Structure 1
Amino acid sequence: MTLRIGVIGTGMIGSDHARRIQTVLAGASIVALSDVNIDGARAVQSEIAPDAVLYSTGEELIASPDVDAVLITSWGGTHAQYVLAAIAAGKPCFCEKPLATTADDARRIVDAEVAYGKRLVQVGFMRRYDAGYRLLKKVVDSEIGTPLMVHTAHRNPTVPEQYVTPMAIHDTLIHEIDVFRWLLDDDYVSAQVVFPRASRHSHAKLADPQIVLFETKKGVRIDVEIFVNCRYGYDIQCQVVGEEGLANLPEPMAIVTRKDAKVQNAILTDWKDRFVDSYDVELADFIQAASRGTAAGPSSWDGYVASITSDACVEAQEKAGQIIDIALPERPSLYN
């Protein structure tokens, strides 16, 4: 039986996910679309899903008896209302990050899902599905001994002028916040932000680069370099140091050339190219679970913890150099 999916939010990521479901993956079809920009929804209907029905609101789409599951790819401020509506309707939903723009709203989602009694929400933390990170986790779990330290970097070639200091946490670091918890099977207890010498390619409202320092419950120390105007490319680095050895995140596959007295290979410049395959895998996981009436992968709890942690990191930005405690409530048994 084909899973009937409705998409709320038909911008860049929404249209890309719709295309992926319609043309790449098996087991599902786009049957409904909704966006505040109706022309955007019509364009996706015309180009990708001609049989999809257009709905004027996300709530109407969720309530439709012709929709089995929901993809929420609208702007972040609307995520909580649509996720809560999907839970109330008993329909599995995939929500792109962030789960919610406040920790309070994320907690409301967790409470609603726990009250429903079954997982219905998958959050779009796609790095857990990246082949390189999965290889790294396998090695960390079995080959290098107890993890002691993690050294990482998240570098973008450039960012738009409207990108400001807190966005380094909410828009950039958010992926590291989630993937390190998964990689180490651990949680954070504190965060600190320090600012090195500023790049001349930044601007007055963006402190760039910056370094975020975490401590985990198990005592692992993590340093994350965030450098969003590095100029040379999109570069994700991660090295885990264990008691018996260390492991590095594999570099993306690239052809090495020898030319003009140089040995070199290309570096990616677009985040979509770096993680393109992981989007396929995460949505295939969603389709499989939603077809059983549930959800898998990163959960509402993961989204809630990421929200609490990112709020602490922004506070650490504002209080540069100070260590900010991160206190998590007890995890409901639904997410164990």
Structure 2
Amino acid sequence: MASELRVGVIGVGMMGADHAERLVTRTAGARLVAVSDPDTARAAELASRYDGVRSVGDPLELIADDGVDAVVIASPGFVHEEQVLACIEHRTYALCEKPLTMDAESSLRIVEAEAAAGPPLVQVGFMRRFDPEYAAMKAMLDSGQLGRTLLLHNTHRNKAVPESFRSEMIVRDSLVHEVDVARFLFGEEITEITVLAPAPTGVAAEGVLDPQVALFRMAGGGMATTEVFVNCQVGYEVRCEAVAERGTVVAGRNSTGLYSTVADDHGGYWGGQVPPDFRARFARAYDLEVQAWVDASRRGEVVGPSTWDGYAATAVCTAGMESLATGQPVKVQLAERTALLDGARR
């Protein structure tokens, strides 16, 4: 595609608005042309910030628009299936934010529809694969210099979430990132998940189990642990340590940047800043992710996490929600990956 990629954004909440601004100001080869949101006033206000951007009331109309080449889907997960299937039907490239859908069955329907329709069109928004530190960790582990990877230890902390963010959402909307990280770094599937919860923090909403601890068993025998704490009150902390036969490697440790000493009424302390939210922590990853998606779409290709990756992550989280409810390990049930699906991309 010689000309700019004409992009629409569906869903203009925090994530969608961030992507819209990124497309306009920091992405080469793309032009934001349309936005859509059920809150039409919010969509119209966002469109008015940028020259030549239309507000379209119906997201399916935006997907079918001949003036739109590709779509960023940042809408709530419960409408993803309909919107992604529309992209496949209209041969419109899509970057779909996680989760791909709300359950394994609907995610598998997307995998099958994409495989049946022809070359892949959909990239799933697991941006950590594009984060420079996570990408460097993957390269180091794959090089073999540390030997076989044995364990991963993940930490995922948010400063706070709304009261509407319930226990199951911690699995489906937060832990899903670590699910993809484990699959990405090990290069294999998760076969079993256990999700446990200690006594909850006093600042969590009534009935919400926060923090949670998850244990993944990998197909090759490795294991991964994850702490997810979405009301930690401090800031946004995400890191991963890989333990291999001949060494370890850590991504996300807050040991770079500004070093400061601070005096207060209790004496002195030292440290740097903890990012306030995911947009600050993974700003570079999002930039690289969207640029890679735009470049690939202009070439008629897809890079990054596939619909299969989105399906596998959703299947693990579906099992994780069952484990959270029962306190027992749950086997992950995945469809057989047929030759048709393998003809797409991993």
**TM-score past 0.5 threshold:** yes
Match of 1:294 among 301, 305, 310: 301
Cα offset for 1:335? Answer: 2.4
1:16 corresponds in structure 2 to 18
Task: Name the CA distance, whole Å, in 2 between partners of 1:237 and 1:28.
Answer: 31
2: CA distance, partners of 1:259 / 1:62: 52
Q: Which residue of 1 aligns with 2:132?
A: 131
Read off the aligned partner of 2:195 and give its amino acid letter: V
Structure 1 position 56, deviation (Å): 2.4
Match of 1:329 in 2: 335
- Where 1:241 maps in the other structure, the secondary structure is strand
Point out the more displaced range, 95-104 or 210-219.
Answer: 95-104
% identical equivalent positions:
38
Structure 2, gaps ≥5 residues long: none
Spell out, residue by residue over 1:28-69, the C-alpha distance to the aligned partner (whole angstroms, 9 max, x if none): 101122222211111111113x31233221121111111111
Distance 2:33 2:192 in 1: 44
Counting only pairs closer than 5 Å after superposition, residues 215-294 of structure 1 correspond to structure 2 as 215-252=217-254, 253-260=256-263, 261-294=268-301
Q: Distance in 2 between matches of 1:197 and 1:63?
A: 49
In structure 2, how many angstroms separate the alpha carbons of the residues matched to 1:159 and 1:23?
Answer: 28
* Equivalent residue runs for 1:1-336 within 5 Å: 1-48=3-50, 50-142=51-143, 143-252=145-254, 253-260=256-263, 261-320=268-327, 322-331=328-337, 332-333=341-342, 334-336=344-346
**Residue identity opposite 2:236 in structure 1:** Y
CA contact 2:238–2:252 (8 Å) conserved in 1: no
Deviations 1:147-189 (A, max 9, x none): 1111121112222222211111011101111121111101111
Shift of 1:259: 4.5
Deviations 1:170-215 (A, max 9, x none): 1110111112111110111101122223322223321122211110
- Deviating 4+ runs (over 4 angstroms): none
Cα deviation digits, residues 98-142 of structure 1 (max 9, x gap):
111121211111111101121100111111111111121122222
Which moves more between the two structures, 34-43 or 299-308? 34-43
The one-letter code of the counterpart of 2:92 is: K
**DSSP-derived class of the 2:301 partner:** coil
CA 1:117–1:167: 2 relative to 1, 3 Å: same
How far apart, CA to CA, are the structure 1 residues paired with 2:239 and 2:34? 38
Name whichever of 211-220 and 235-244 sits farther off. 235-244
Aligned residue for 2:299, secondary structure, equals coil
What letter corresponds to residue 109 of structure 2 in structure 1?
A: R
Amino acid at match of 1:325: K
Distance 1:211 1:198 in 2: 12
Determine if contact 1:7/1:34 at 8 Å carries over to the other structure: yes
Read off the aligned partner of 1:316 and give its amino acid letter.
S
- Aligned-pair CA distance for 1:237: 2.4
Q: Distance in 1 between matches of 2:296 and 2:26?
A: 18
Whether the 8 Å contact between 1:91 and 1:293 is mirrored in structure 2 is no
- CA 1:86/1:194 → structure 2, altered by over 3 Å: closer, same or farther? same
Q: Is the 8 A contact 1:33 1:53 kept in 2?
A: yes
